Chain A
Amino acid sequence: MQLNLSPFVAFCVIVGCDPSGSAPSDQAQHGTEEFRPQKLLEPLPPLTEFPVKKVSDVGTDLNPSELVIGLTVGKESRAYPINMLTGPRREILNDTLGGKSIAATW
């Protein structure tokens, strides 16, 4: 999902890049705007391995009010708790669910 004011952006603000960025928002037009990304960090290795639990084994490890991204592919369902996906070392999990390759991101 795309809630973008993650700690990664906080980092951007902390290191002092101009959050209004290289392209003024009034020029932003999907498909026509020039792609001018700002480099803040070196690329991080893809995340392909991470622990997975059964819902029935979670117990009190998650709070009932915590937000998750939920995905169902075929007969398989998996939740991705957002509080565990934030930060540049997370953000994207390369996963497989119901036989489908997934880039789990938000």
Chain B
Amino acid sequence: MYAADVGKQKLTFGVSGMLWNRSLVMYDKETGTLWSHILGEAMQGKLKGETLEQVPCVMTDWKTWSKEHADGTVVMLSRSSKEYKTDFYKKPEQFVLGIADGDKAKAWRFDALAKTPTINDTWRGKPVAVLFDKESVSARLFSRKVGDRELSFESGETGIRDKETGSTWEPTTGRATVGPLKGKHLTPLNGIVSYREVWTKFHPKSESYPSGRK
């Protein structure tokens, strides 16, 4: 999910008909520049070297999203596939939640998240948490800073709580639903769900959680 503006120019993207490393190459109608879909980088053409701003998003199921965003909208086209349901993740070891910035990258494996649905970690020296919802198979990366406070999370029978205040947090929205921080939001970061194999191909030096296993 990208912002379509580069500097003051609004770009309109289309499918170029090309693949690079088995991944989509986009073009923009305004300049004809070719963009790597997974990197968000201009690879060839007038805007080469530019990077698209990622917009934080979540991949979750319709049940969860529609409950949490009942006043929102949804794009409705005819279906072009049927396979993308929660059972798409039957082999969780094939998937990661990854984040990349310049030459740094880190990825958290879905099989690890299925066992430990809250991971307190750091990214580029800043405290972050991966929160995972097993039912909807949603993984999301957030900053652990709320105001001046740094939180750490744990999961239990009643959901995900922070150890500092005991507030309960919704993993897909980052919203505190119960407790002293009720109504506060964690800041989402640009984590993306990807096949582990594809992630490693585009980010071969990526750190991995659990460590030591690519």
Contact = CB atoms under 8 A, between A and B. Distances in A.
Interface residues of A, number: 81
Contacts, number: 277
A105 B81 contact: no
* A8, A46, A50, A76 interface centre (most CB from chain B within 10 Å): A46
Contacts of A94: 4, 12-13
Interface in A12-31: 12, 17, 19, 21, 23, 25, 28-31
A85 B100 CA distance: 24
B33 to A, nearest CB: 12
Interface bin, chain B: 35 or more
Contacts of B201: 25, 28
Interface in A66-84: 66-73, 76-84
B129 interface: no
Contacts of A88: 15, 17
Interface string B178-214: 0000000000000011110010111111000000000
B81 A86 contact: yes
A55 B204 CA distance: 40
B58 interface: yes
Interface string A91-106: 1111100001111111
Contact of A43 (B2, B27, B75, B193): B27
A58 B66 contact: yes
B21 interface: yes
B119 interface: no
Interface string B75-96: 1111111111111100000000
B73 A53 contact: yes
B25 to A, nearest CB: 5
13 contacts: A17-B19, A35-B43, A37-B43, A39-B18, A51-B76, A69-B58, A70-B65, A76-B73, A78-B74, A83-B84, A87-B80, A90-B80, A103-B3
Interface of A: 1-9, 12, 17, 19, 21, 23, 25, 28-31, 35-48, 50-56, 58, 61-73, 76-95, 100-106
